[in-house]
Structure formats: structure tokens, C-alpha cells
Amino acid sequence: MLDAYNTIVHMLERLHRHFLDVLRAELRRMNVNDINAVQALLLSNIGDQDVVIRDLKDRGYYHGSNVSYNIKKLTEFGYIHQERAEHDRRATQLRLTEKGMELCHAIRDLQNRLAESLNTDAGATEAELRKADEVLQKLERTWTDYIRYGR
């Protein structure tokens, strides 16, 4: 069990780095030079929703200083619009601009192509992906419980 667990942990690290490399390559292909892969992923995670910065951190996607810096840059380059939330003036509401939505759609198209390629070229089935997701959710739950409750 320990060997399989360690293999998965190392694979997760590599996959995240590789996915950022995929996004970097796609940004280069699209001649998008003003943002990086992490920022593009942030746009993708916001999508067509209005999101409060705190929600991005609460979902576990980003750490405080990282998300603040990246939101600042994405706003400067015209990908995100920020405004104070009406219900809580302390909260900042985020929404993608048209430029941000265009890039978000391009990333979604890339994801669709990659998913299709995983099926047709690598022979992965939807059932296999669902099983992998099930195991990864159990791993996430184990780690979350450890963070919250300790040993």
C-alpha cells in the first residue's frame, strides 16, 4: 500500500507541473505573453461565474498572497474586472472580461481536445477516469481530515 500511495503522490506532483507546461505551450501557441500558466488556470477556474476572492482560497485552489498577486496582474492586463460585493463591501467580486472569457474558452477547448485524445490515442475509458477520480477524492479526504483533525 505504501508504494502505491507514494507513486500516486509523486504522480500528482508531476501531473500538476505537466499541466502547467501544457497551458504554457498553449499560451505560446496563442501568442499570449502577458500572463503565465498559473494565471490562465485561475481564469479557467473562475469561468463564467462571479466569484469572491475568498471563495477561490476557500475552495483550496490558491493561497492568499498568490491569489492576490495573480488577481492584481490579471486585472492590470484586462482579463478580470474587480468590484466590491454589494452584500459585503469588504469582499471583492471577480468577473472575467471579454478578453478573459476568450482565453477561458480557448482553455476549455484545449481541455476538450486533450480529453478526446486521452480516449482515442491513449485508450482511457470514462469508467477508468471515474475510478481514478474516486480514488483521488478519497486521497483528498484523507489529507483534509489530517489537516483539520491531525493524527
The pLDDT of residue 83: 85
| 92-96 vs 51-52, strand pairing mode | antiparallel
Question: Order of strands across the sheet with 51-52?
Answer: 51-52, 92-96, 80-84
Measured CA to CA, the distance from residue 146 to residue 151 in angstroms comes to: 6
The pLDDT of residue 61: 65
**What is the chain's pLDDT, residue by residue, as a tens digit (151 residues)?**
999 999 999 999 999 999 999 999 999 999 999 999 999 999 998 888 888 877 777 666 666 668 888 999 999 999 999 888 677 667 788 999 999 999 999 999 999 999 999 999 999 999 999 999 999 999 999 998 998 898 8
pTM of the model: 0.84
Helices (H), 30-125: 37-46, 53-58, 64-76, 98-120
Single-letter code of the amino acid located at 36: N
Q: Which CATH number fits domain 2-120: 1.10.10.10, 3.40.50.10320, 3.40.50.720, 3.40.50.300?
A: 1.10.10.10
Contacts 24+ apart (CB under 8 A), 30-35: 30/103, 30/106, 32/103, 34/77, 35/73, 35/74, 35/77, 35/79
Q: How crowded is the C-beta side of 102, counted as CA atoms within 13 Å?
A: 8
The pLDDT of residue 60: 60
The pLDDT of residue 67: 83
Instruction: Show Cβ contacts of residue 23 under 8 Å, excluding neighbours closer than 6 positions.
Output: 37, 40, 41, 107, 110
Measured CA to CA, the distance from residue 7 to residue 148 in angstroms comes to: 24
